Each structure stands twice: as C-alpha cells, then as structure tokens.
Structure 1
Amino acid sequence: MKIDIKDLKRGWKEYTLQNDHGMAVSLLNYGGIITKAMVPDQDGKVENVMIGYKRVEDYETNPNFFGALIGPVAGRIQGAAFELDGNVYMLEANDGENHLHGGSNGFHQVLWDTEPFQDEDRVGVVLSYSRKDGEGGYPGTMDVSVTYLLTNENELILEYGAVTDQPTPLTLTNHAYFNLSGNGKETILEHQVTIDSHQFLELNEELIPTGTVVDAADTSFDFRKGRRLQDGITAQTEQNDIAGHGYDHYFLFDHSRSEMVTVKEQTSGRVLTIETDQPGMVMYTANNLQHGLDLHEGTSRKHLGVCFETQSPPASLHHDGLPPVILHPNERYQQRTVFTFSIEK
C-alpha cells in the first residue's frame, strides 16, 4: 500500500492511493474529485474505469460533475427553495428554475483540507471543510468530513460525516461516472446491472420528482433480477424519455441483501458491487453528456458512463413519506458507501 501526492496549481493536490493488487485511485483536494480508478480486468490488464478530463484544469468548472463530491444537497431542489421551521430559504437557481448539486459554489468547487494516512492494509485521505452559516443560501455552520479509503480487497470506501449548529438539509454523494469496459472503449449500454429495489421516484419534465413512488415491477426500472442498461435507454417509455433516453431516477433500496448494486461488464470480466447504508440512489446513465470533451481516453459521448449516487432524496423537502435530508444540531450525519471491484471470468 502506498500514497503518492502531486502538487498542482494554486494549492491543488492530486492524491493517488495504490494497493498491493494493481488497483489505484486518484483524487483531488479540489472538489474531492476522483480523477481515475485503475482496475485490472480478467487478463490482468489495468485500465481506467472512471470517466474524467484529460486536462486537470477542466475540473475547475466541471459542469458534468465528473467524479465530484456533491453537497450540501446532492440532486435537484424544486423551485430552488425550501421551508424549514417556518422559514423559507432561497437558493441559487442553476438548473432552470431549480437548484442542482449545491449550486455553482457547492462542495464540488471547494478546496478541501486534507490529511493522508496509510497502514498495512489500507490507504486513504480525510477531506474536511467548515461551511459558514448562510453560505450558498443554506442555514447553519457545518463541519464536514469525507474519507476516501482504498483497501487490499479492491474496495474504494467513502465515509461521510457532518455536524451542524442549526437544522439544515444535507445529503452527500460522489458523482463518479463508471465504465467497466476500461479506458472508455465502449458505452455502458451492455453493462448488466442488478439493483436491490422495487420502487423509484417518478420525474416531471424538469427532472424533479413528483412525489409519486412507482412500483418498478414489469417495467424497464425493475433491475432486481439484472438487466442491461440498454433496456431502458432504448425502451421509449415516458419516464426513460423524460430523462433523455435513459435513467436519471432515484431508486429506493429494499435492503433485502447486503449488496445494493451489482454491475458486470462481460468483455473485461470486471464486476462492481456497491454496499451502502443510504436509503437509495440516483442512477444516471450520462444521457446529457455532450460529445467531444477531451477525456483521459479519447472524447466524450452520450452514455459513456453510469453514476450510482447513493444518498437520501432531496424531494423529501417538498413531499412527505420519503427518507429525510434534514440534519439537526444534536445529530451526526454519518453515511458509508463501499465500491468493490472484482473479476468474473
């Protein structure tokens, strides 16, 4: 196990975590952005399984949120406003009339304090940041920490923690775009995905949840027995079409098994499993990824990656009956997601 630290411009640093089995993950202190994840295939060939920019300076704006740490609230907040304890808080409308991923100055734009660590069977970096009361329109002074951890079991573990001095919305995630074919050779259409979920949130034309929880049975949203992502991308159902011919929906986990998500790519033999204590996730199939961006391996195109954004749903700010996103002063926000890479020959 080892960690390499590379100094970049204006205080940016890139940390590369390496284990003893050929896996390496690189991340920035800027935005907590994962820039690469190098993972062996069934023949031992190590390739990048995350989509990211070729030039590190392109992460400064990063409109696609490649690999970024997202917060204070991951996802869309309807009308760029919410009510809490009788007060209405107005946020930046950076996605039409709505608020997306914490706004243009969200956690993906923060230069985080970092503390690397290393021992026999794991290596990692702790990122920390103190958000001021009113920053970005959100109430409360908040101390946030996120730990990126790589183990010798090829686990990439993300541990999120936070405390606040006022009630405030908080739900954090990472916006990594996975592509198990390696080096972006193929789109994710043939990725076989299994999700421990029989319910998802219906979207309106602005990609805002309507509050309706839909039973996924016998639809292109039922991944309990596994299916190709192409099934929904080409399904031409109303909900897949609304998302730009694919998925951009919140799935509520059943928590009937330890692994919430399993992803397989047949040609490489790579398998990704996801375990989390979050109540659900947004699965996004890069439906709006524009063509022609300069990436590590070639240029971008639609459906080149798939995101598994484990989190609570911000729709709970406007609709009852959904997992909440409000953190109170006497609580500690503590969430964990584990991405494990393996081979199936």
Structure 2
Amino acid sequence: MMPSAQASPWWDKDRHADRRPFLVARGRIKQRLRAWFEAEGFTEVEAGQLQVSPGNEAHLHAFATEAVSIDGRRAPLYLHTSPEFAAKKLIAAGETRIVDFARVFRNRERGPLHHPEFTMVEWYRVGAPYEQLMADCASLMRLACAAAGTDNLVWRGASADPALEPERVTLQEAFERHAGIDLLASVAASGETDRDRLAAAARGAGIRVAGDDGWADIFSKVLVEKIEPRLGFGRPAILCEYPVSEAALARPKAGDARVAERFELYACGVELANGFGELTDPVEQRRRFELEMAEKQRVYGERYPIDEDLLAALAAMPPTSGIALGFERLVMLAAGARSIEDVIWTPVPRDEAR
C-alpha cells in the first residue's frame, strides 16, 4: 500500500524537489569544509562503523548487531555512536591531526534536530589546547554560510552572525545568569556532587524536581529549560567548563578540578558541536565509564561493554584536543532548512510512512 499524501516519502518527486536545494548546499558545504581541513594539514580517516563498544555515555543508545564466524560462533557488535574510540587509537598509533566525516548511528533519537543515522565531523589536534577547537568552529561556521550563499545561521526565526566572534560563557556563569543558581556550590573540590543542594536551588528557579532525580538529572533539566534556549542568538555562543561529572571523556581544567575542559557550540539555541581537552588517563577513564554504565543500568536496564583496546591506547596517547560537530545541523542552519530530514539525501523510513 502506498503511503498517504500526508506522509509522502522522501522520494516523492514534489518533496524531493523541495529538498533538493538544501541537499545541493550540503554538497557545497562538505566540499568547502574538506578543503579547509586539507589546508590545515589534516589527514582524513574513515573509522570502522562496527565496534565492540558503541560508546559509554549513559544516555546514548546504540544499534546492536552481531558478527557470525564461519563456524557459527556469534559475538555482539554495535554501530558506533561516534568515531571517537577508533580515532583515539589512531592518535595512539602516531597520527597527529585527523578528521573523519563519519556516518554514525543513535537509537531512540528522531525529530527536527535528530535522526537515527547522521554525519558527524570529528577532528583531533595533538598538542593543541582545546581553545584551538573553538577557533576552528568559528572558521567552519563562516565557511558553511559562504558555501550556502547566506550571511547568517538561521533556525525558527532566529539568527546568528558567524562573522562575529562567538560569545564564551562558563556553565557557572550561565547558571547564575539565566537561572540564578550557584552551580559550583553543589560541586566539591574532588568533583563529588551534592544532589540535595542543587535540587533546592533548582526548585527555587522554578524547575520541577522529582524524588528520584539525581544531580545529573537536575543539571540537565536546568540546562535544557533555562540555559540552552538562550544561547547563540545574534552571535554564536560557546558554553564551557562543564562540571567534571558531566564530562566523562574530558580532562580536568588546570587550576580548578571541579570543572573539565569541555565546551559546546550553539547557534540559535541549537547545539552544533561538543569539544574536549581529551582525558588520557586510562585508570580514570575506566572509573568514569563504569559510573556511566552503572547509571545506564539504573535508568534503562542495560549497559555496553568497555573497549579494553581503547583504554590500552589511552596510555600511549599524547595530550590532544578533539571535537565532534553535527554536520547536518550546521547545513540546516547555514542553508535555512526546517528539519534535519531536509538535508539528508535518503532519510531512514518512518514507521508511519510505510
């Protein structure tokens, strides 16, 4: 049975004609970004999509599959949620400046800004401070708009001028400015968090806190309700210095172990990129992964394996900064598209459209 007109598939001629200008802009933007990375001395790599672990963040969900040997033995595998683990092994192997236009897969994600399969531009600079990645992002936003023939990043009536230097604001500053919360008052020097103290402050700011919400849940609610909707209007914004408990893959900031070298890039209230000064301590990384998987087990009743090869590689990995940028989101905002599916050539079918 053919789908109804209301749920026309992406290959419907009229719908494709509407999407095609955005798809052509996508190609131009990718071409310009690739040329920029080449000029900066990056080697483009291609991380394998099948991995023994898809990542160890509590709230990321993977697509699971399995490998079957010629004699019928079966072993679990996953489609990666990021090329990060493979990229870090390449850094340990001796690469110093790499980029991957990676196809990645995330389950339980679909909406105007989310798709189960998408492209993540991920790059790493050995020996560079993570502030260099902030400068990279500014350059790439300008390039994307130039390639799309536009002056501003736009989304739902809002705009951000990529010619302007991104505003830089710490999580502590953002929580105080937009929610009236002293965030770091609930974070000890050791990085341990005080759930009840943050809960009281969040309730005072009008955030609904459930009895079983942990510190991370409350942090996320404040971030989503009070902070993110105010970032990146008029000019892009960089939100930085996340509490260490919210930066499982980032190294602590020198001078204040309560926060980590993690930042996110925003334009028009939309998160575009997530960057780190990379953690290279395998013992600490294992501890953080185990905490993340314990939380995943508590909330979702499942956990993913820890990639032992990655932990071994971290011991040989030099100081590095790395970042992942959502390519389709950048294209959307540069080209003025309404939905992520407008800038994906062949979107994953929806159940209701079959």
Give your verdict on TM over 0.5.
no
By percentage of residues, which structure has more strand?
1
- Using CA pairs under 8 Å that are at least 6 residues apart, name the structure with larger relative contact order, 1 or 2: 2
Name the TM-score, length of structure 1 as normaliser.
0.29
Hey, which of these two has a bigger chunk of helix by percent? 2
Q: Give me the TM-score of the superposition, normalised by structure 2.
A: 0.28
Q: Which has the larger radius of gyration?
A: 2
